[in-house]
Amino acid sequence: MVVGDFAEEVDTLIIGSGPGGYVAAIRAAQLGQKVTIVEKGDIGGVCLNVGCIPSKALIQAGHKFHEAKSGGDDMGITAEKVNVDFSKVQEWKAGIVNKLTGGVQGLLKANNVNIVQGEAYFSDENSVKVSTDEYNSQTYKFKNCIVATGSRPVELPNFKYSSRVINSTGALQLDDIPEKLVVIGGGYIGVELAGAYANLGAEVTVLEGEKRILGGFEKQMAQLVQRRLKKKGVKFETQAFAQSVEESDNGVNIKAEVKGKEKSFDADYVLVSVGRKPNTDELGLEQIGVEIGDNGLIKTDKQCRTGNKSIYAIGDIIEGPQLAHKASYEGKIAAEAISGESSEIDYLGIPMVVFAEPELASVGYTESEAKEAGYDVVGAKFPFQANGRALSLNDSEGFMKLVTRKEDGLVIGAQIAGPNASDMIAEAGLAIEAGMTAEDLAMTIHAHPTLGEITMETAEVALGTPVHIAK
């Protein structure tokens, strides 16, 4: 029997509770809106449940195991027997996820956000029908709606997902560490998981279609990662195109064309990591004036507003890099725009990070991008090898590069390859957002000995007054 559906009215309806959706919900509630958030899966979306958080936990576990096994040889620290109980690793990882997703639910409730579990479909320009199960649904009439439905892994036609052909979600949920793993795709997700499983003892091969891995980063940065992973036994095949896979009870055999020649690879699993597809289908968006491109991305203005003025879209389903922190930023912009504020998106200060070895981070312009944009710039570089803290960490491979405008020293970009690059990039991002110069960074007193000093030292190189490397 179908329960009667009487429309419930809300100020702002949000579809999706990932880092874009839940942040938008909290910000909208702070601004006085009556908010309902709809989630068909787990609160926290891909990032908290099967993406950013569990992958970084697995990466950290890999680091710990590898360091315990061999990381202290140079210091005279060795261990005769080091084991990994992967079931406990997975249990620990799940505990982190549960703590964070529970925290998000608590924050939503504390801000009086109504949480609805179900699948949403637009019934008209100001209404959404949410199916809670096979028989029941509830209609919500909204003044404004923020669509934050995220993305899902792309599936290759000849590599249908199964127990042996896995995507990033499957790679994070394996019961055992594979002896052999083939990764199709040398982007940030593929490289991160390749490194994690290599550290845990797997024999990993990466197949990348382009001439090099990590195409979104400068060549020298990608080379550092590839060199480090090769030392850990990871094999790289570039200009490699996976053609087919044969599965058995014990593993897979992958056929690929590598630089024009056919090669075969055996493994326990093959991880397909060739990008993500926006979740914009099956929502009924086209029928309510929301324009969707051929790539599945929703077209929006600088306030994340779609062609339907009461509907906004954020995160992986609009143009730009598919990053959790980008989605959160856009969520705040959309919530504020709905509340009548003049907030607009400005992507220059959004960092990109890869939790590889070494970590990579970039914000603003690269030197080549700045020149292409017409800027006359200085590209100043400082090596981690000249930093005392990096040496004491026994992790001194890498560099920081600062891109400044030659005429006035304005900071317009930065790239970091090295330990803790993911944390260090924030200072450069702040410098860009605040309109700071190389002199501002150089004159800021940084604690010693820290990796943060590298930012100050790189700024001094930009000014032509380096202290700890020869001019």
Beta bridge partners of 418: none
Give the span between the Cα atoms of 157 and 161, in whole angstroms: 10
- Is 460 among the annotated ligand-binding positions? no
- Is 192 among the annotated ligand-binding positions? yes
- Is 191 among the annotated ligand-binding positions? yes
Q: Does the annotation mark 325 as catalytic?
A: no
Q: How would DSSP label each residue in 242-272?
A: EEEEEE-SS-EEEEEEETTEEEEEEESEEEE
Give the span between the Cα atoms of 67 and 71, in whole angstroms: 4
- Beta strand 165-166 pairing with 269-272: parallel
- Is 5 among the annotated ligand-binding positions? no
- Is 315 among the annotated ligand-binding positions? no
- Is 62 among the annotated ligand-binding positions? no
- Is 190 among the annotated ligand-binding positions? yes
- Is 316 among the annotated ligand-binding positions? yes
Q: Which of 66, 446, 448, 468 is catalytic?
A: 448
On whether the CB atoms of residues 377 and 403 are closer than 8 A, the answer is yes
Give the span between the Cα atoms of 172 and 20, in whole angstroms: 22
- Is 413 among the annotated ligand-binding positions? no
- Please state whether 90 falls in left (phi above 0), alpha (psi between -120 and 50) or beta: alpha
- Is 176 among the annotated ligand-binding positions? no
Element (H, E) at 125: none
Q: How many residues in total does the chain contain?
A: 471
**Cis peptide preceding 466, ω within 30 of 0:** no
- Is 188 among the annotated ligand-binding positions? yes
- Is 186 among the annotated ligand-binding positions? yes
Q: 333 Cβ partners below 8 Å, 6+ apart?
A: 303, 304, 314, 343, 344, 345
Binding-site sequence positions for FAD: 56, 149-151, 316
Binding-site sequence positions for NAD(+): 185-192, 208, 275
Binding-site sequence positions: 56, 149-151, 185-192, 208, 275, 316
Q: Which residues are catalytic?
A: 448
